[in-house]
Structure 1
Amino acid sequence: MPVAVLIAGAGCTATVAALTASTLPTVRVTVGEEPAPRDPGPPAAEEKPDGPPDPESADPGPPEPGTEGSGPQGAEEGQDSAGPDTESVPPSAYTGASTAFGPFHVVVDTCYTDTSITDGMGTHATAPSGMEYHVYRLHVTNEGSGPAVFDTAGTTALTTDGKEFVNDAEAEFTVAWDYLWDEINPGTTVTSYVVLTAPVGTEFSEVMLGGVAPITPG
């Protein structure tokens, strides 16, 4: 065998031995490796099942009457819960009031209450127990073209609490007998009366002379 071939063979053997003795790097291959778990964050609020509301979290609703905040803001203090008081109408409130009644112009000269009345000439009347007279002294002027009778029949009065009274013809006769049935000439002014009998303390909010002509307090 030629020397060159032996030398070449020896070189190949040495090369294989050297490669075998060398340390090869270790390669790891991971197939299907799962990624690291993510931070789930704060837990979600627990859902409550359907059912009756929690009494502690329910709407408390409007406050009970009489408790703080139960009334409207800005309500006037001292107002009566049943409504405003009825306005007082003393008899003197009618002084100076006037009305037209047929051909007559009627002016209230004065108004007062009393438990007895008189014509000043010996005739008098006394109201029943617990009652009093409401006396309207009137100036009556005939503004028509002919004589006319001033007749108070049918006069009514409404109290401040809604009750109605009629005029007391007998009491009127006591104080106004001289002009109740006599005619009054045109242009003439006479003094006459309307009288009503009512419980003591009664106040009238309106008088309807003859049932048709209103006399209202001033």
Structure 2
Amino acid sequence: MIPKALIFDVFGTCVDWRSSVAGLVEKHLPTCDGFAFADAWRGEYQPAMKRIRDGGRGYVALDDLHLENLDRVLRHFDIQVDDRPALNTAWEKLDPWPDVVPGLMAIKDKAIIAPCSNGSIALMTRLARYAKLPWDCILGAEIAQDYKPKPAVYLASCAALRLEPAQVMMVAAHNDDLHAARAAGLMTAFVARPKEHGPDQTTDLTPDANWDIVAQDFLDLAAQI
């Protein structure tokens, strides 16, 4: 079946968060190892969301979780920052992988395209403006008031488009994201991003299941659908 909509993981799949955050950190904190700081900041990402997914805390937008996580990382690095909110906007200024914008434009000719990210609507909107991501709309965690890989996030995105899950394809560079989407009834597409975590990355280098599409990049994905 040809999907009527494709929804995309963003951090890692569409944008190079690690290099982008590292570069911006070094502009704000010239004496800091930007990559070490970016890795530590990202390392707080899943634990912060897990407390919400597990019911230990109500929904909090990722912008606010990023700021809380930033405070933890600053304490770990023993760094003082005068304007923490300005540094926190690093997550709105992430560079896309080279194939992403032309690939999304090609896919958009065939189907609806939207992010299904854990980022908030505000974060995804500002990031789209910065990176020139041509989304038709913004979907994901905020409309579900929960975080991936909870089924509600995928299903809320489908419902917002008034489409059945089987009519929607989830695109991600992360196998666990696709396992959750498939369990919720969506089609799946895997696009590897072997440099997401740097030169020593060991995870998600290859698909670990028989996904509906395995593509080299977004242009290949556009050709396959």
The TM-score range, normalised by the shorter chain, is under 0.3
Say which structure is richer in helix.
2
**Higher relative contact order, structure no. (Cα contacts within 8 Å, ≥ 6 residues apart):** 2
- Structure number with greater Rg is 1
Say which structure is richer in strand.
1
TM-score by length of 1: 0.24
TM-score by length of 2: 0.23
